[in-house]
Every structure is written in structure tokens, then in C-alpha cells.
Amino acid sequence: MELTAGVTTELSGAEITIRCLQEEGVEFIFGYPGGAVLPLYDELFKQEKVKHILVRHEQAAVHGADAYSRSTGKVGVVLVTSGPGVTNAVTGIATAHMDSIPMVIVTGQVPTHAIGQDAFQEVDTVGITRPCVKHNFLVKDIKDLAVIMKKAFYLAATGRPGPVLVDIPKDVQSTKTAYFYPQSVTMRSYNPVTKGHSGQIKKAIQLLMEAKRPMIYTGGGIVLGNASAELTQLVRTLGFPCTNTLMGLGGYPASDPQFVGMLGMHGTYEANMAMQNCDVLLAIGARFDDRVIGNPKHFFQEDRRIIHVDIDPSSISKRVRVDVPIVGDVREVLQEMNRQLAAAKERPDPAAIKSWWTQIEQWRSRDCLKYDRASKIIKPQFVMEKLYELTKDMDLFLTSDVGQHQMWAAQFYKFEKPRRWINSGGLGTMGVGLPYALGVQLAYPDATVACVTGEASIQMCIQELSTAKQYRLPVKIVNLNNRYMGMVRQWQQFFHGNRYAESYMDALPDFVKLTESYGHVGMRIDKPEDVEPALKEAFGRKNDLVFMDFITDQTENVFPMVPGGKGLSEMILV
Amino acid sequence: MENEPGALSRVAGLFSARGYNIESLTVAPTEDPSLSRMTVVTSGSDDVIEQITKQLNKLVDVVKVVDLSDGDHIERELMLVKVRASGKDREEMKRMADIFRGRIVDVTEKAYTIELTGTGSKLDAFLEALERGVILETVRTGASGIGRGERILKVS
């Protein structure tokens, strides 16, 4: 490791930590105080550059920082105390890790002399978090602190991003040392590849030119790698169909006719059929996970050649064998592909591509997302359609929790831009929706931010209504209340003989009164004709948090559905 | 890999978290005290070995990963075996140790401790050759490996 430039003064560990955050341009730190972080809070108190957001539970602190990062692309920052502060934060950290979100988590630890003594509020933080962070550090020597902080931000934001945790014992926070913040760090053991191999890229272009039934499949990597513009250019130049994963939505404009919708377990019929039947597949920033391709054996019943672009070599050939692997930053690789494409003389066979599109349009005409629009009970899909209609010109940020409502939001809301759809894809963490919305609203105070949730998910972080009040964050909550853990109920109906074990939500609170008690506005909507007026009123209240409790059909299911272990083309259709 | 506290548990944790086999693992600092060298013996299909290599490379503390079985290499493991060495067994144990080029490093009236170095299969063969009843205790280090000839694993 080399150090370059810096300033020298004698500061305490707590002062150094806060100074490092300032140097990194950190706007917000999401946290909750406690015994082992008191010196850090004391230093936060003495300055104004880094604004602390006090949540009501440490899990929400991590989710808030996570959403701040997902919506801005910057590193999210968290501060929690030792012991329960850390264990409460673990769900949030694992959520960020699964979706590769850049984040730095600063945790307090008991004093170094007490480590290992089963001290009050002591846990092995580095041990507990090791499997769900990109890297973590325990700062034993004050002299290492500034460099570790620099490394933490560097590791979090580069390569395949992810959360990095820095555990600082209380005595290290109060010891003084000369302060020197390096402008940059290099680590001999960490050198992420960014530039894709040009020979491999050439091979990829060649394959794409020969394709008769091509498909472009992209994931969260396009969003994280800020490569939407480059992807859009490539897809339009080639004239090929494009699908996005749940994490990749917004990476390609959803209203574009070349977009065939989301793919996967609850993907569209046309996306899944095209994925299964294509002869050349270009996968970018996606990882062929079980929710996307279903059973890999079934996927390989069809013969196709696969090009896979990803910054993480371990994502390539993990679940499926690929023909042309390209390791690199997706944006740089796409730029190179676009350059080579512009220079290429050949073009794909127009007749073959035309007949492929005819096939895709036939699949599309199956109208796989249809539902009973004449229903007297509110259909959740109807709420999503109306939400989209009414907010599509607002450049809305939409967060969601996890379950049926998440899938309906993903299916019905057309995301035109990246970083507008904020949800937990990999870990599938219920409870993220509200803290996500708060994190986004803090990052974009003037934007319209909504959270689609359900009566089960929202109760997992409902206490954050209080945080919303404290910081005056006027997010709009769309609660699809079907009195069931809907996705659990759906699986029990399909795969467990209609035995709805523990999936019924009994003893629900009156959400209107609950919201009002936190000082917000609550609305209850139980007729289809009231959906649109309610949404209009809620989104018209610019300065209020509005909780819309939509009483929806209890038995509605999400279709299409690829049952677990089945192949992509073995969908259950409505 | 970096000679950092916790580096070993990152590797061990990776193997258990991802369900990879780990037959043996040896680690110690190198001539450069900032670096440790680890030899891991594992098994799996080519795909699994490829994933293990990639996942190990992804660990921030890991500087370089080499699959020694990709080329010619030397593999050695050290074993200490305490055997019963009384009566007629005493001469027999000495002979067995000599045949396997082992060394007797501790002697009492009733027991020998034999030091034996070699590949894992040589050590296995030695144990096989002994009568079960004479083995009192064994301890093995797990394999350490190095490439043959000019094949060098070094951090530039």
C-alpha cells in the first residue's frame, strides 16, 4: 500500500473517523447511538458537514443508507453501536451485500482490553458479519484508522461494489494520533479488472452478427455500473429484444417496443419464452440466478451460445457454462462493443430477425398480465396500473417491500430510467420498503417517492414512520392490504394443498389511526372507483406522508409463475 | 495472502459457506513477514475447482491463487506417529520406519515416535502397513505444495 499526499495534525480516533467521512464527501450517516460509539457521536455533534439521520431501529439505518446509495450511486454510510446495534444491522448489511450495494458501516466495539471477555454489549462483529460483507476491519491500532477508512470507501465503491464494515473499539476512538488522510490507496491483493478483453469483445460481436434468434438479458450490473445509455444504444443498433431482471429494471426504458418485460419466476411470457428459445444470448451484469432461469438443466435443453459480461469473474460460469466470458466494467465493455459495432460492415440477417420478432409478438399477444378489470373488489394490479398512469410524468422513485406487491409493481410499473426502482432482490428482505423510501427522499428532497408494500412487510419496519416525521419526509405509502402474507399464501395454495399455515394476518392495526398517531395522513380505500381519486389526493399532498391502505382481493395470485425447480418455459399462466 | 488476523477464517469460512470440500489446510508466514502462504487440498469437478479459485481470488486478503495440480509439483506432509514398541514389535517398528525413510524422534521403553514426511498417500501407506493395534496416536500437518522447476509463486 502506498500513501500519497495528506495533512498532519494530532486527533482522537473519533475525530479522525468523522474527518475521514467529511473527506469522502459523506452527506448523511444513518445510525443509532449507544455506549460503544459515544465518542463518535460527540464528534458528530461538534460539526455540521455530515448530517446524522436517527432511525428507530438499526436495521432501518442500514436500509436507509442502502437506498441512498441505490438511488444516487454514492456510498451509503451507517453508524451503529456494538452488540445488539450490530446484530440488528446484520439483516440490512446482508441485504446490501446480496445486491452489491456500496456501503461503509462504522460500528463501535468494546475497548480492546475487554475484547474476548464477554463484556457488556460485546459480539464478534467481524466474525458475525464476515460472510455478508465485501470486507471488514477491526481497528486495533489508532495509527491504522485513517488508512482503513480510506480502504473501506475504496473497496466499497470499486470492482463489484459491496458493504465494508469498520469495527472501532471505544478506546481507539479516544486515543490520539497524528492525522493523515491518504488521497488514494492501492492494495496488492485487490485489483479489479475494468477493461474487457478486446479479443473476447470481438468474438461476442461476431456471435451477435450470426444470431438468428438473439436475446439481450441484463441485470443490476447495468444500474450499478451506470451503463444504461450504452446498453440502450447497443440494443437499438442491433434491433434485438431486451429483457431486464428484477434488479435491472430501468436499465433499459420499459416503454420501448424492444423491451419484452422482466424475465424470471414472475417474468412475462414473452421474456421467458424468448430467453428459453434464443440461439445467442448476451447477458450483461446479471448472474443467471435461480429466480431468473429456473432449473438450469431445463434451460440447457435448448442449444444456444452465451456471451456473459460481468465485473465479477466468479459470477461467470457459476450456474451456467458460457461460450464467451468477458470480465470487465459493463460500461467500458458496452462502449467498446458499440465502437466495434459501428465499425463493423456486417449486420445480422434481417429476415431471421424479422421472423424472430414475429414469434415474440405472438408470445406478447398472449397478454400474460391480464386480470379481472371489472372486479368489484380492488385488484392489486389495478392499483399498480393507476399508480403508473398518475405518476409516470413525475420521474417517480418507487421502493417496494418483498412479496406479491413487489412482483406486481415490477410487472406493471414501467421504469424508464435506472435507479428509480429500489427493492431487495437477492436477499428478499421484508421491511425494506419504508426505510428505503426515506433514504431516497433524503437524497432527493424535491422528488416524489412512493413505497409499494403490503400489510405484512410494512409492519416489519413500521416504527420508521417516526423517523419520517422527524425529518419531514413526505413519502407516499401504497399498502396493498390483502390480510395475507400473499406470496406465502400463493405458494401454500399451489404447492401445499391450500393449507394456509400461519400466513393469515390477524389482529391488524387500523393503519389510518396508526399513521395519524405518528403525525401523518392516513387513507383507507376499499372500492375500485375510489382508487384513482385517492392516489390523486395523496400525490397532491406534497408535504405530507400519506399512508394509503388499499383493501385488496385476498385471493389474487401473481402470474405468470415458474414454479421452483421448473424450467423457464413451464410457466403457470392465468 | 496478507498476513492479517482473520485471513485464515475468511478462507475457511468461504469453504464452509459455499459447501466446498476441504481435505487439509496449512498456513504459515513466508520469508516476507507481511505475507502468509496457504496450501489447501480440496476436490471437485473442474467447474467446482474453477469456482473455488475465483471465489478465493475475490477475498480481499488473498493476493494470488495457483492450482498446483495444473502442472508438475511437489507435495509434502509431515506425520508424527506414536507406536507401541515393546517386545517383538520394537525391532519391527524400527524396520518399518527405515523402509519408509521415517525417523524415530522419541524413544521410551514402550513406545517410539516416528517422524515421516511425504505425500499424503505415502503417509497413508505407512499407516496401512502397520498393524492397527500398534498405533497409539497420529498427528498430520496436511499437505504443503510447491511447483517444480522454474514454476514460482511469488508476489511481484
A219-239 pLDDT, tens digit per residue, is 999 999 999 999 999 999 999
pLDDT tens-digit readout, B40-49? 999 999 999 9
Of the residues A151, A170, A379, A476, only one is catalytic, namely A170
A115 at interface of B, judged by CB pairs closer than 8 A: no
pLDDT in tens, A545-556: 999 999 999 999
B103 and B48, same domain (yes or no): no
Distance from CA of A125 to the nearest CA of B (A): 12
Contact at CB, B63 and A317, closer than 8 angstroms: no
Together in a domain, B84 and B58: no
Dihedral sign computed on CA atoms, order A79, A80, A86, A90: negative
Q: What is the pLDDT of residue B154?
A: 85
The reply to whether residue A135 touches residue B60, judged by beta carbons under 8 angstroms, is: yes
> At the topology level of CATH, where does A198-364 sit?
Rossmann fold (3.40.50)
For the domain with range A9-179, which CATH number is right: 3.40.50.1820, 3.40.50.1100, 3.40.1180.10, 3.40.50.970?
3.40.50.970
SS3 assignment, position A107: strand
User: Would you tell me which residues 305-324 of chain A have a C-beta closer than 8 angstroms to some C-beta of chain B?
Assistant: 312-314, 317-318, 321
One domain for residues B14 and B47: yes
Q: Is the pLDDT of residue A1 over 50?
A: no
Q: What is the DSSP letter of A475?
A: -
Grid cell, residue A258, equals 424492444
φ/ψ (deg, to 5) at A408: -65, -40
Q: Name the pLDDT band for A6 (thresholds 50, 70, 90).
A: low
* Terminal Cα distance for chain B, rounded: 13
> pLDDT-based confidence at A2, cuts 50/70/90?
very low
Rg of chain B, C-alpha, whole Å: 19
Could you tell me if residue B152 is inside a domain?
Answer: no
CA distance A522 to A205: 54
| Contact call for residues A538 and A479 (beta carbons, < 8 A) | no
User: Residue A137: is its pLDDT beyond 90?
Assistant: yes
Q: Do B22 and B83 belong to one domain? A: no
Q: What is the pLDDT of residues A256-287, one digit of tens each?
A: 999 999 999 999 999 999 999 999 999 999 99
**Residue tagged 477475498 (cell numbers):** B59
The reply to whether domains A9-179 and A198-364 share a CATH topology is: yes
A2 flagged as catalytic = no
A28 Cβ contact list (under 8 Å, min separation 6):
A50, A51, A52, A53, A64, A65, A68, A77, A442, A443
- B107-154 pLDDT tens trace: 999 999 999 999 999 999 999 999 989 999 999 999 999 999 988 988
- Quick one: average pLDDT of B57-79? 96
The residue in chain A having the minimum alpha-carbon distance to the alpha carbon of residue B53 is A314
pLDDT band at A431 (very low <50, low <70, confident <90, very high): very high
Q: How far is B62 from chain A (nearest CA, A)?
A: 6
Provide the domain count of chain B.
2
Do B84 and B35 fall into the same domain?
Answer: no
A188 touching B (Cβ < 8 Å):
yes
Mark yes or no for CB contact B9/A190 under 8 Å: no
Q: CA–CA separation, A264 vs A245, rounded Å?
A: 7
Q: What length is written for chain B?
A: 156
Q: What is the pTM of this model?
A: 0.96
**B139 and B92 together in one domain:** yes
Q: How do A280-284 and A214-218 pair as beta strands?
A: parallel
**Hey, is A105 helix, strand or coil?**
strand
Would you say residue B149 lies in a domain? no
Concatenated DSSP letters for chain B?
Answer: -B--TTHHHHHHHHHHHTT----EEEEEE-SSTTBEEEEEE----HHHHHHHHHHHHHSTT------GGGS-EEEEEEEEEEEE-STHHHHHHHHHHHHTT-EEEEE-SSEEEEEEEE-HHHHHHHHHHS-GGGEEEEEE---EEEESTT------
**Shortest alpha-carbon distance between residue A98 and chain B (Å):** 14
Distance from CA of A190 to the nearest CA of B (A): 6
**Is A58 designated active site?**
yes
Contacts of B1 (CB under 8 A, 6+ apart): A189, B7, B11, B35, B36, B37, B38, B59, B61, B62, B63
Q: Which residues pair with A220 in a beta bridge?
A: none
Does residue B123 contact residue B77 with C-beta atoms inside 8 Å?
Answer: yes
pLDDT tens for residues A20-58?
999 999 999 999 999 999 999 999 999 999 999 999 999
Residues B101 and B58 in one domain: no
How far apart (Å, rounded) are the C-alpha atoms in residues B39 and A522?
62
Considering the domain architecture, whether residues B122 and B97 belong to the same structural domain is answered as yes
Find the CATH number of the domain harbouring B45: 3.30.70.260
Task: Compute, in degrees rounded to 10, the torsion defined by CA atoms A305, A310, A315, A319.
Answer: -20
The pLDDT tens digits of the residues spanning A184-195 come to 999 999 999 899
Most A CBs within 10 A among B58, B59, B61, B154, hence the mutation to make, goes to B58
Pick the CATH number of A380-551 from 3.40.50.1460, 3.40.50.970, 3.30.360.10, 3.30.70.890: 3.40.50.970
Give me the CATH number covering residue B100: 3.30.70.1150
% of chain A beyond a pLDDT of 90: 98
Task: For residues B53 and A318, give the distance between their C-alpha atoms in angstroms, rounded to a whole number.
Answer: 12
* Cα-based torsion angle of the residue sequence A200, A194, A155, B41 in order, rounded to the nearest 10 degrees: 30
pLDDT tens sequence across A59-77? 999 999 999 999 999 999 9
Q: What interface predicted TM-score (ipTM) does this complex get? A: 0.93
Q: What is the pLDDT of residues A351-362, one digit of tens each?
A: 999 999 999 999
On whether both B80 and B41 belong to a single domain, the answer is no
Task: Confirm or reject contact between A114 and chain B (CB < 8 A).
Answer: no
Q: Which residue, B24, B39, B65, sits at the end of a domain?
A: B65
Range of the domain at B117: 73-144
Residue of chain B nearest A311, judged by CA positions: B58
Q: Give the start-to-end residue ranges of the domains of chain A.
A: 9-179, 198-364, 380-551
Decide if B156 is inside a domain.
no
Contact at CB, B17 and A313, closer than 8 angstroms: no
